[in-house]
Amino acid sequence: MLADCLDSLSRQTDAPPWEAVVVDNASPDDTVAMLQQRYPWVRLIANRQNRGFAGANNQGIAAARGRFVLLLNPDTIVSAGALHKLVDFLSTHPQVAIVGPNLRQPNGQPDRGSARRSYSLAAALWLDALRLGVTPLLGRILRRRLAAPYDYNVTQPVEAVSGAAMLARRELLQDLGGFAEVFLHCGEDIDLCFRVRAQGLEIWYLAEAVIVHLGGRSTKKAVVRTAVNAALSNAQFFRRCHGRGQALAFRLIVQCVQMPCLLGIGLVKLLARREHTADLVRRCQIARALIAWRPVR
Task: Answer whether residue 121 is part of any domain.
Answer: no
From 49, 48, 158, select the one nearest 100 (Cα to Cα): 158
The per-residue pLDDT for 222 is 83
Q: 204 and 89 in one domain?
A: yes
The per-residue pLDDT for 294 is 94
CA dihedral for 204, 95, 165, 37, sign (positive or negative): positive
Task: Answer whether residue 22 is part of any domain.
Answer: yes
Q: Last residue of some domain: 184, 217, 250?
A: 217
Q: 213 and 226 in one domain?
A: no
Query: Residue 280: what residue type?
Result: L
Q: 157 and 35 in one domain?
A: yes
Residue 206 lies in domain = 2-115+150-217
Q: Last residue of some domain: 217, 245, 275?
A: 217
Task: Answer whether residue 144 is part of any domain.
Answer: no
Burial of 75 per CB tally in 10 Å (0-12, 13-18, 19+): middle
At a CB cut-off of 8 Å and minimum separation 6, what does 48 contact? 26
User: What CATH number is given to the structural domain containing 7?
Assistant: 3.90.550.10
Task: Answer whether residue 129 is part of any domain.
Answer: no
Q: 101 and 59 in one domain?
A: yes
Quick: pLDDT tens for 191-215.
999 999 999 999 999 999 999 999 7
| Residues 142, 131: Cα–Cα separation, whole Å | 10
| Residues 140, 66: Cα–Cα separation, whole Å | 41
Q: 284 and 157 in one domain?
A: no
Q: CA distances (Å), 226 to each of 8, 176, 222, in order?
A: 28, 27, 6
Length of the chain: 297
Quick: pLDDT tens for 224-269.
999 999 999 999 999 999 999 999 999 999 999 999 999 999 999 9
The per-residue pLDDT for 297 is 83
Over its length of 297 residues, how does the chain's per-residue pLDDT go in tens digits? Answer: 999 999 999 999 999 999 999 999 999 999 999 999 999 999 999 999 999 999 999 999 999 999 999 999 999 999 999 999 999 999 999 999 999 999 999 999 999 999 999 999 999 999 999 999 999 999 999 999 999 999 999 999 999 999 999 999 999 999 999 999 999 989 999 999 999 999 999 999 999 999 999 976 656 668 999 999 999 999 999 999 999 999 999 999 999 999 999 999 999 999 999 999 999 999 999 999 999 999 998
Q: 227 and 178 in one domain?
A: no
Q: 264 and 198 in one domain?
A: no
Task: Answer whether residue 123 is part of any domain.
Answer: no
The per-residue pLDDT for 64 is 95
Task: Answer whether residue 125 is part of any domain.
Answer: no
Q: 255 and 174 in one domain?
A: no
| Residues 212, 101: Cα–Cα separation, whole Å | 10
| Residues 19, 170: Cα–Cα separation, whole Å | 13
Q: 239 and 104 in one domain?
A: no
Q: 170 and 262 in one domain?
A: no
Task: Answer whether residue 137 is part of any domain.
Answer: no
The per-residue pLDDT for 164 is 96
Q: 288 and 171 in one domain?
A: no
Task: Answer whether residue 272 is part of any domain.
Answer: yes
Domain count, the chain: 2
Q: 225 and 209 in one domain?
A: no
Q: Last residue of some domain: 160, 185, 217?
A: 217
From 28, 10, 20, 4, select the one nearest 218 (Cα to Cα): 28
| Residues 71, 23: Cα–Cα separation, whole Å | 11
From 20, 48, 46, 52, select the one nearest 33 (Cα to Cα): 46
Beta-bridge mates of residue 23: 45
pTM equals: 0.93
At a CB cut-off of 8 Å and minimum separation 6, what does 39 contact? 3, 6, 20, 22
